[in-house]
């Protein structure tokens, strides 16, 4: 699912197919017979006009008065309404003789075609999303790019739609492209390419149903790719950059090391023989992608990152996002509910189990690094504490299954990011409980393996039955935990579960690089009073404590310079000019009393909560800890 960065979602509920037909037309309903013949779709990447590409779909043997054609409003893994139909222009329908048929558009994503029994083909032009991100909220890895003769990012749901009640039809896709641009994809061509002497090539791919088509991104660009094999999985790593220097080969060693470690962690869980990482490096200019992160698919992931990153920083970012996306081959791509398996692209029904799809995946992306020796114990513990602290900023009273089911609406939408924080911690607790109940032999990975065997990519589970299935595949205590903390809103006492593996909270003083600002400012501006107020969710650093500053104090001035909401950002630059030993004078207002506080500059430190092994931990607890993070 998309890992990311920031997601802004709008909810615009579309009418269902039949209610739309009945409410928009005062005619009696008719019996509609649809063909099972393959749908032929063509995308022309050669004759690009005004930064648009032409798409054509051909159908035959329809027996109905009208038919509706849709572009998706939402696609799996995004949890946001993108309304891809808004990027379609000049939609037309024709009969076999080329005569135009009447078309009526409804909303952003639906076109109704009259006399559908005469329909032979539809045509339209597609705009991309990368060059207009200041005007919409489509997250870049879920979007599209059209850069003539250079790059095409084809998330196919942005180009090809479906006819109502025909999503299970076979699709034959033909893509015409310049011969010097090559397709990077996990797809295997259905037929050999045209003659290599041709100026343009046509690639041909075949799909069993629409869901397979939209799950198969393709990137066309001049070749900059490497292929390697990890435990019988063929990995394609393809990079597009406006910089002519090839980068795939330089970045590949770290990617290979990471995926090899992930496969070692997963063991015999294996849902694909081919996997592609499609990396688009953005210039970050106004007409280029700016939503950095990734979106997973069954056998690939689309990644968008800034081109300006050094190879070291780029490697770090790739490991962060790709490790998460790769684990999605397990959840939800192998283990998923009926809502995901039979996804409704325009009137979606969301699953209750985001804690499984995103939480478990995020947890695996941290756990595998400690079990495979990629990070230290201290780094692993720090990431757990970071999750606990991040989760505390969200509404802990929200029932997680309710939030998941209603994730497209408020107040649940603004709490979405918590699926990566509390969702991962839910999986951590399950892992610890399973280690405890099995005397260290089994953890959450064992549970996922059991569920993979029971279900699999072609056998979705019933949302209401998952907890029962988990109980049968693990221990009753796991089901009890899920009922209490996921299906209900009882807060989780993480300290209680961490104690089972001999861990406890501690406090450590660490250097701070700022006097007034840490990870977040120690001050905030009041919109009503225009005053600057000391207020923070984290303890003040030693510098502010040396003055006796208290939360709620109102800052009047520092060294006789007055501060208000209007010049609050001056604090950044001004405080950076202070030097150790300088005398600093704060004037503050506390309970309507003006106070003058003085102190000399000292090197600031902050108290940070840490996770550490309890010196009183029992041998059994220490053994469980070892089984948990060293297996």
Beta strand 274-282 with 300-306: parallel, antiparallel or unpaired? parallel
Domain membership of residue 322 (yes or no) is yes
Same domain as 357, residue 213? no
Domain count, the chain: 3
Beta strand 274-282 with 233-240: parallel, antiparallel or unpaired? parallel
Same domain as 73, residue 106? yes
Give the list of residues 6+ apart from residue 266 with CB closer than 8 angstroms, or none. 327, 330, 445
Same domain as 271, residue 206? no
What is the span of the domain harbouring residue 230? 225-400+421-457
Give the list of residues 6+ apart from residue 576 with CB closer than 8 angstroms, or none. 514
Same domain as 436, residue 546? no
Name the burial class of residue 43, with classes exposed (0-12), middle (13-18) and buried (19+) by CB atoms within 10 angstroms of its CB. buried
Domain membership of residue 234 (yes or no) is yes
Cα–Cα distance for residue pair 14/24, rounded to 1 Å? 13
Same domain as 331, residue 215? no
* DSSP result, 463-480: GGGHHHHHHHHS-HHHHH
Quote the distance between the C-alpha of residue 176 and its chain's center. Answer: 30
Are 462 and 454 in contact, with CB atoms under 8 Å apart?
no
Domain membership of residue 590 (yes or no) is yes
Instruction: Look at residue 405 in the predicted model and tell me its pLDDT.
Output: 95
Which residues in the chain show pLDDT less than 70?
A: 1-35, 191-199, 270-271, 512-520, 536-539, 631
Domain membership of residue 629 (yes or no) is no
Torsion of CA 67, 73, 75, 80, to 10 degrees: -170
Selection from 152, 66, 155 nearest residue 113 by Cα: 66
How far is the CA of 595 from the CAs of 9, 92, 100, 552, 583, in angstroms? 46, 74, 80, 13, 16
Same domain as 537, residue 439? no
Among 457, 480, 501, residue at a domain's last position: 457
Same domain as 339, residue 233? yes
Work out whether the CA dihedral 372, 386, 323, 453 comes out positive or negative: positive
**What one-character DSSP code corresponds to residue 140?**
G
Same domain as 344, residue 358? yes
Same domain as 234, residue 209? no
Domain membership of residue 314 (yes or no) is yes
Cα–Cα distance for residue pair 585/598, rounded to 1 Å? 5
Q: What letters, b where the CB count within 10 A reaches 16 and e where it falls short, cover 113-139? A: beebeebbbbebbbbbbbbebeeebbb
CATH code of the domain covering residue 344: 1.10.390.10
Selection from 476, 382, 472, 486 nearest residue 427 by Cα: 486
Instruction: Look at residue 199 in the predicted model and tell me its pLDDT.
Output: 62
Are 269 and 244 in contact, with CB atoms under 8 Å apart?
no
pTM for this model (two decimals): 0.81
CATH code of the domain covering residue 190: 2.60.40.3650
CATH code of the domain covering residue 597: 2.30.42.10
Same domain as 250, residue 172? no
Quote the distance between the C-alpha of residue 441 and its chain's center. Answer: 32
Instruction: Look at residue 460 in the predicted model and tell me its pLDDT.
Output: 94
Q: Please give the helix or strand (H or E) that residue 9 lies within, else none.
A: none
């Amino acid at each position: 699912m998309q890992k990311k960065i920031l997601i802004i979602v709008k909810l615009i509920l579309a009418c269902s197919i039949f209610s739309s037909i009945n409410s928009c037309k005062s005619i009696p309903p008719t019996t509609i017979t649809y063909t099972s013949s393959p749908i032929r779709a063509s995308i022309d990447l050669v004759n690009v006009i005004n930064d648009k590409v032409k798409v054509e779909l051909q159908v035959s043997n329809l027996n109905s008065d009208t038919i509706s054609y849709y572009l998706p409003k939402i696609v799996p893994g995004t949890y946001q309404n993108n309304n891809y139909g808004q990027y379609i222009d000049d939609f037309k329908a024709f009969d076999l003789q080329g005569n135009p048929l009447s078309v009526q558009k409804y909303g952003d994503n639906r076109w109704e075609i009259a006399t559908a029994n005469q329909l032979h083909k539809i045509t339209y032009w597609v705009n991309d999303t990368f060059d207009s991100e200041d005007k919409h909220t489509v997250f870049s890895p879920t979007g599209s790019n059209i850069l003539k003769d250079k790059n095409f990012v084809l998330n196919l749901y942005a180009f090809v739609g479906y006819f109502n009640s025909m999503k299970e039809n076979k699709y034959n896709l033909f893509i015409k492209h310049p011969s010097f641009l090559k397709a990077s994809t996990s797809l295997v061509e259905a037929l050999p390419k045209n003659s290599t002497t041709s100026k343009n090539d046509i690639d041909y791919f075949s799909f069993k149903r629409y869901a397979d088509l939209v799950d198969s991104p393709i990137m066309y660009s001049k070749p900059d790719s490497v292929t390697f094999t990890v435990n019988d999985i063929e990995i394609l790593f393809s990079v597009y950059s406006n910089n002519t220097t090839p980068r795939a080969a330089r970045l590949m060693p770290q990617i290979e090391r990471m995926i090899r470690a992930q496969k070692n962690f997963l063991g015999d869980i294996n849902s694909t023989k081919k996997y592609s990482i499609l990396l688009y490096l953005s210039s970050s200019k106004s007409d280029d992608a700016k939503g950095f992160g990734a979106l997973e698919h069954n056998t690939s992931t689309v990644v968008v990152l800034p081109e300006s990153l050094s190879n070291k920083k780029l490697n770090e970012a790739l490991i962060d996002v790709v490790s998460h996306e790769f684990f999605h081959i397990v959840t939800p791509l192998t283990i998923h509910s009926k809502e995901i398996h039979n996804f409704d692209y325009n009137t979606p029904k969301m699953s209750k189990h985001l804690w499984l799809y995103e939480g478990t995946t995020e947890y695996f992306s941290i756990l595998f690094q400690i079990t495979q020796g990629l990070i230290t114990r201290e780094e692993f513990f720090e990431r757990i504490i970071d999750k606990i602290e991040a989760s505390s900023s969200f509404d802990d009273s929200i029932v997680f299954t309710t939030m998941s089911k209603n994730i497209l609406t408020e107040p649940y939408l603004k709490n979405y990011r918590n699926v990566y924080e509390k969702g991962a911690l839910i999986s951590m607790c399950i892992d610890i409980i399973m280690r405890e109940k099995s005397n260290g032999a089994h953890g959450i990975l064992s549970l996922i393996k059991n569920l993979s065997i029971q279900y699999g990519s072609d056998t979705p589970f019933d949302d209401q039955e998952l907890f029962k299935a988990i109980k049968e595949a693990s221990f009753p205590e796991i089901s009890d935990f899920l009922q209490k903390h996921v299906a209900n809103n009882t807060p989780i006492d993480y300290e209680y579960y961490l104690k089972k593996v001999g861990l406890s909270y501690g406090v450590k003083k660490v250097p701070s690089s700022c006097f007034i600002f840490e990870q977040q400012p120690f001050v905030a501006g009041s919109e009503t009073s225009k005053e600057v107020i000391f207020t923070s969710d984290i303890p003040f650093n030693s510098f502010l404590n040396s003055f006796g500053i208290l939360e709620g104090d109102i800052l009047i001035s520092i060294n006789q310079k007055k501060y208000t909401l209007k010049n609050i950002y001056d604090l950044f630059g001004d405080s950076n000019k202070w030097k150790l030993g300088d005398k600093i004078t704060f004037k503050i207002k506390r309970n309507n009393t003006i106070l003058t506080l003085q102190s000399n500059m000292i090197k600031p430190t902050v108290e940070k909560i840490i996770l550490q092994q309890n010196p009183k931990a029992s041998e059994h607890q220490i053994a469980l800890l070892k089984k948990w993070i060293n297996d």
